[in-house]
Chains A and B, each alone.
Chain A
């Protein structure tokens, strides 16, 4: 586009304006409020560290972080396993491009539908009188319905995997699709078996996708409050669901401090992943 050196500024201005007012300033607002005082009704501008020291002195917050990390780690492991296997199948075993795209889109369609509904849809399957329990009872595998299926940590993680695997699958698919087939052909001609090719070529060359997918999945799991609240039946809490409780009780400064702590931790994890894999330069390839 012509229009001189100023053109990019004019073109980026609307995005920059909205992002600044709706992301930049609100984040600064939360940071500022995290130092304020509150009595549960009104906020009082101040600069005090008590919100932070109070949180850190309570043992509860460490449990919350531990629970959140546990959810994140298990979900991450499951989504990498499923995402990698499905991408591997699509890229290296499905031969026609048309089918590859069609099958990938088949995996993508649920992403464009409501997460709340996709979560709710597990209830008639997992419940005490749900499909899974009633089938097992009819088959004689169990005598009494299993209680751990719904309103448990199992249900929370299952829902996460169900909702977020796509965020792993698509980036891994992208990196795998960029692997030059000649490379694999050459390795095979040199006598490498499928396992060696997988270990020495495909997994290393998929690492950008795995890293990008991990960032998505980790931040989605660690930012969730709704799935934890509903699918654990209120029995488990994560950092953000605890924060939501404080918001509901109008303890905004305390909630803000907790949120800032979480964001710092999340950004540290993301930075660590970015140190291992330079996503930006690899995406440009």
Chain B
């Protein structure tokens, strides 16, 4: 470190202030609706708080005027878990495949990029019309799941590339030289080493699917996912129940994030101890 960077100058504090403002900008509005979701029964959509209660949370799940919130929640959680598992498995193997050039690898990569780039609603339209032409009914667990995978798989693949960047194929070769079969290499060398990265892929798979809106709208058929229920609420609902569902769904996301980071931290700690 040079002498000039030892003492922190004015620019550090200015940049730190800017960064802090950005973090407030990111979290401030969310914090406001978390607080407002605990409005008293007579409270409205904005401050002041008229008492504090859990009224809007119970209203959310007991009243029928908010649509099928509980059903939407169940379906979104189910879709999230399915997308998570499929994304983790497909992207692990596809990532391994992409280490060598194979026929069509370029086309497959560009198909993934195209899926990220095109408007989600357009892809939803394509999937729903494709199903319609084939004479299949739209189901959240089939066409809906496919639409979600078109969003989670490309993300998972890109993260897998980053994870595999730091993976040395010599580890595989060493295991092979020691007499391990391909399956043993995968189970005892590759997957354990890549495990933290796989957790990251799984986190993306779950949260991106759980919160997905544009690709879902036209593909889930008659039964809505939670983001669709919430998006309907944004135009119909004028009570703090809208914020209550925001608090609930954010808690689910935070729990998923905490679980993923917790798992990664445990793995890293074990590794550090093993060294």
Contacts and interface: CB of A to CB of B under 8 A. Distances in A.
B253 A30 contact: no
A19 B154 CA distance: 9
B52 interface: no
B117 A266 contact: yes
21 contacts: A2-B176, A2-B182, A14-B94, A15-B157, A18-B86, A19-B108, A27-B122, A86-B19, A110-B30, A113-B207, A114-B227, A116-B211, A120-B234, A124-B46, A125-B28, A131-B47, A165-B22, A223-B118, A240-B121, A247-B125, A270-B117
Contacts of B94: 11-12, 14-16
A56 to B, nearest CB: 19
Given A1-B96, A29-B133, A266-B117, A113 B185 contact: no
B196 to A, nearest CB: 13
Interface in B1-56: 2, 4, 8, 11-12, 15-16, 18-19, 22-23, 25-30, 32-33, 36, 45-47
Contacts of B147: 22
Interface string A83-120: 00110111001000000000101110110111111111
Interface of A: 1-3, 7-9, 11-12, 14-16, 18-30, 33, 82, 85-86, 88-90, 93, 103, 105-107, 109-110, 112-125, 127, 129-131, 134, 162, 165, 185, 188-189, 194, 215, 219, 222-226, 230, 240, 243-244, 247, 252, 255-256, 259, 262-263, 266-267, 270, 283
A134 B47 contact: yes
A177 to B, nearest CB: 12
Contacts of B185: 1-2
Given A23-B123, A86-B19, A121 B93 contact: no
Contact of B127 (A22, A124, A215): A22
Chain B binding surface, main DSSP class: helix
Given A120-B234, A240-B121, A267-B117, A131 B46 contact: yes
Interface string B198-241: 00000110010011011000100000000100110011000000
